[in-house]
Amino acid sequence: MQLTIIKTFISRFLILILSFGLVIFSTNMWGSEGKGTISIVIANAAAVSFFSSVFSGSSTSYFASRFKIEQILLYAYLWSFFIGLFVPFLFSFTSIQDEYLFYLIGISIFSSLLSTNISLFIGTQNIRKFNVYTVLQQLVHVVFISLLVYGFGKKDVSVYFQAQIACLVVLSVTSFFQIIRKCNLAEVSFSRAVAKNMFEYGWKTQLSAFVQFLNYRLSFYFLEYFEGIASVGIFSIGVTFSEAIWTITRSIAVVLYSDVVNTKSRKKSVKKTKEALKLTSILMVAFVVGVIVVPSEIYQMIFGKEFRDTKEIIFFLSPGICAIAVSDMIGHYFSGIRELKILNIKSIVGLVVTVIFSFIAIPRWGILGACFATTSSYLVSSFILFRKFYRSTPFKVSDYMISMEDIRLLKQKIFKK
């Protein structure tokens, strides 16, 4: 497990670098308003993805080793097209950046198709291809943006979405051909049992994920309503930092989930989860120290004058960022053993906290109010997961401390490889 985590960690680190490069480019190219527009449209696309992921997300991973892949793909692809068209159409009635509706449809459909293929790689424990395609999502996006801006001279913020759609089309088609080569087209058929199981598992998992997404993104919509689109752009930089560190820690969670769904021993699953908790905790300490050490002037120099409060935003978000990163390990453990009720409970409670505190804090304190609401939601929802996990297994401080023995075993695995 450790070696697979290291490989996935490296891929996530590459994603982190590319992601920050894209953020720096977009803030300097389009300013806080342009970054705010990008953040809202991508948040809308992420909302659509939670509906499409009922079939194309974790249920594809979970049932990849339990049903015929040909049947799984049939339902996942059909659902991706249906949701990718239908849900964005509903979004158009909200008038939230509705001028980008066609871009939203393109992003929604092809990101769902790609998600299906990547989820299949996870379910079949092909972590190498999973890592390759997650890195390529950022790399190819950057390549297409560079081509449109410097090759064709396009400067409008829509360039971001055009490049993203082109990227998703290329990767979804490429991964499709890699998968279909190993499939028997004669096995493609409708199965009531497959549909029922995928839908039942998928909606339960995605209900929690969607509500948790609202915890992550609802503050964007409140900020746009109370403070304007520019405030969303400024606040989104702080959120980008949180998602950057989550990109790395979730590489550990993905490997953990893949191990848990393919392990029948509950004892081994708990052991693997505690190993993941150790590594994540150390990463979180490094993240917080890094945020505190970097001067505010550096953030302003990188992102522009409009983003001079970035360090303060990240600082106030950091307690919640750390809590979510570590509790994600426990969340993937519960998902892997199909104890989904606790995931729904923690997400719903967190959402209630987000809504109440956003109405109170954002009109009063603006962006810092959004930080307060977001961090409070993260801490409360994480506490619920920790409480559930440690009611069934003894709590030990060593669960969060890397020992010399852990380092020795890790070195042994690396050099053995």
Confidence band of 414 (pLDDT split at 50, 70, 90): very low
CA distances from 129 to 3, 49, 118, 249 (A): 15, 21, 8, 18
Q: Within 10 A of 155 (CB to CB), how many other CB atoms are there?
A: 11
CA distances from 86 to 2, 12, 89, 152 (A): 42, 32, 5, 32
In this predicted structure, the answer to whether residue 343 has a pLDDT above a threshold of 90 is no
Delimit the domains of the chain by residue range. 2-416
Token output for 399: 């669960």
Confidence band of 255 (pLDDT split at 50, 70, 90): low
Lowest mean pLDDT of 125-134, 155-164, 249-258, 354-363, name the range.
249-258
What number is the average pLDDT over the span 140-159?
92
Q: Compute the distance between CA of residue 42 and CA of residue 57 in angstroms, rounded to an integer.
A: 18
Q: Is the dihedral of CA 94, 242, 76, 349 positive or negative?
A: negative
- Quote the radius of gyration of the chain (alpha carbons, Å): 21
Q: Compute the distance between CA of residue 129 and CA of residue 127 in angstroms, rounded to an integer.
A: 6
Lowest mean pLDDT of 3-7, 201-205, 219-223, name the range.
3-7
Instruction: Tell me what pLDDT residue 50 has.
Output: 81
CB 168 within 8 A of CB 111: yes
Instruction: Tell me what pLDDT residue 261 has.
Output: 60
Give the mean pLDDT of the chain.
82
Torsion angle of C-alpha atoms 373, 49, 105, 246, degrees rounded to 10: 60
Q: Compute the distance between CA of residue 71 and CA of residue 185 in angstroms, rounded to an integer.
A: 10
Q: Compute the distance between CA of residue 231 and CA of residue 307 in angstroms, rounded to an integer.
A: 10
pLDDT in tens, 196-213: 888 888 887 777 677 777
What number is the average pLDDT over the span 341-361?
89
In this predicted structure, the answer to whether residue 217 has a pLDDT above a threshold of 70 is yes
Q: Compute the distance between CA of residue 156 and CA of residue 350 in angstroms, rounded to an integer.
A: 37
Instruction: Tell me what pLDDT residue 103 has.
Output: 93
Confidence band of 165 (pLDDT split at 50, 70, 90): very high
Q: Element (H or E) spanning 121, and its range?
A: helix 101-123
Q: Is the pTM of this model over 0.75?
A: no
Percent of the chain's residues with pLDDT above 90: 20
CA distances from 207 to 203, 221, 260 (A): 6, 20, 21
What number is the average pLDDT over the span 159-186?
89
Q: Compute the distance between CA of residue 189 and CA of residue 39 in angstroms, rounded to an integer.
A: 39
Q: Compute the distance between CA of residue 254 and CA of residue 240 in angstroms, rounded to an integer.
A: 20
Instruction: Tell me what pLDDT residue 413 has.
Output: 45
Distance of CA 77 to the CA centre of its chain: 21
Token output for 165: 């759609």
In this predicted structure, the answer to whether residue 315 has a pLDDT above a threshold of 60 is yes
Confidence band of 303 (pLDDT split at 50, 70, 90): confident
Higher pLDDT, 256 or 129: 129
Higher pLDDT, 393 or 388: 388
Higher pLDDT, 348 or 93: 348
What number is the average pLDDT over the span 18-39?
86
The position carrying tokens 């009922």 is: 54
Instruction: Tell me what pLDDT residue 171 has.
Output: 95
